[in-house]
Structure 1
Amino acid sequence: MSLGLFNGSSRSHRSHGLFGGSVESQLSDIRDEIAELAALLAKRGNKASGLVRHRAHDLRGQAESSLGDLMGTAEHVVADLRHRYGDTGREVSRTVRRHPVATLGAVAAVGLIAAALLRR
């Protein structure tokens, strides 16, 4: 006669199982361990989530700072271009007043070149 796990002749095997406890108590232990594991995973997930949120906040601050610097630089470049454009406009006006015939000749030459390029 064998004394295996599925042998119905021994009541002690049915009540204590292979490891000395009932199936119900083993299932209860497993449920408790799974609950502990789930709690541990949730805790680590929350910690990782917090770290990611903190890092994202830092990166957003850096991006906003960089954007502010970029906008300031762009404003300086635009102001410089306006200043240079104004200077160039004044210089062109001065040249046209000093040399009106030469200006008309230059405009006519540019017109002829443009017309020749557009015909092609």
Structure 2
Amino acid sequence: MERERLNFDSFRSKFRMSIQNPLRLLNLAGKSLLTEEALAISTLEYLPIELFPPLFMEAFWGRHRKILKALVQAWPFVRLPLGGLMQTPHLVTLQAVLDGLDVLLTQKDRPR
């Protein structure tokens, strides 16, 4: 009985660990992508949609204005929740987001 419990506890800890790894992997991939601006912009159409929100936040807080503008233009979701970001003093960064929205609104063919 004790041995079965140890095996179950070991399995449970491994399972819990594997659930957390994809989130870490996505964050690492996003940070790595932000180090190469041209690469980040050119690969947006191929990125999995799960990477967009963390990449957007990393780009916003890291003040990667060109990547932010391109992210907004390629945003795969119906909504882009900006409410919490509007209270930030990064006006130049917010301007990049708004520029991306402006370009997106003028496009006839929407990405994704």
TM over 0.5: no
Q: TM-score, normalised by structure 1?
A: 0.30
Structure with greater Cα Rg: 1
Higher RCO, Cα 8 Å, sep 6+:
2
